[in-house]
Structure 1
Amino acid sequence: MDGAIHGCRVARGAPPVSHLFFADDSLLFFKANIEEAAVVKQCLIRYEKLSGQMVNYNKSNICFSRNTQMAQKQQVAWCLGVELASNFGKYLGFPSFIGRNKRAVFAYIEDKTGQRIGSWNKKLLSQARKEVLLKSVAQSMPTFSMSVFLLPESVCLSIQRTMNKYWWGTGADRGIHWKAWDKLCIPKKYGGLGFKDLRAFNLAMLGKQAWRFLTEPTTLVARIYKARYYPTTTFVDATIGNSPSHCWRSIMTTHDLVCAGVRRRIGNGRDTLIWGHPWLSDDPSPLVQTHMPEELRQALVSGLVDQDTGTWDPHILNDLFIPEDVNRISRIPISPDYDDTWYWKGHTQGIYTVKNAYRRIMGDYSDDPGAFDKWVTLWKLRVPPKWKTFLWRAVSGILPTTDNLIVKRVEVDPICPMCGNAQENIMHVLILCDYSKMVWNISGLPVTNIQTNFFQSWFIGMMDSLLEGQVRLTVGILYYLWLARNLALWERALPRPTATVKKAVLTEEAFTRLRRVAAQPNATVMPETEPYGLKCYFDAGYRQHTEEATYGVVLLNHEGVFMAASAGTLPGAFSPIMAEALACKEALSWLKGRDIQRVDLLTDCMELRNMIISRSTEIRSTANMHAHTLASLAFDQEHPMYWDVIPPDSITISDPLPETNGDHRERIPSSPLPPARRSIVTGSISINRERRKREMSPDGEEKPPGSNGGGTIPLSTTTGNPAAHPSNVF
Structure 2
Amino acid sequence: MEQAYDNMSWDALEQVLQMFGIPVKMIGLIMKCVKGARFSFNINGKASKWITTANGFPQVKELQYLGVQLLLRRPVRADFQFHIDSVLQKLNSWGEKGGRNLHLAVDRAGPLKARLTWRMIQKLESLFSRVITAKYGDDVWNIKYKSNTSVAWKVLNEGARYLKPLLRWRVANGRSIDVVNDVWLLDMSFSKWPIMADCLGLEGLKLNHFINSNGSWKKEEFLCYFNEDLIPVIIQIKIEYEMLEDFMEEIHSLYGKTIIARAYETHYRSKQDFEAVSGFNSWLKKLKMMARVEVFWWRLSRGVIPTNEFLKFRKIYNDDQCVRGCGEVENMSHITSMCNHLREVLKKIHEWGIFVPVFNSMEDCLSELKCPSMTAPNVVILYFNDVYWNWKNRNEVAHGKEANTISATAANVLSTAYLSSNPLIAS
Provide TM-score, normalisation by structure 2: 0.37
Largest Rg, 1 or 2: 2
Provide TM-score, normalisation by structure 1: 0.23
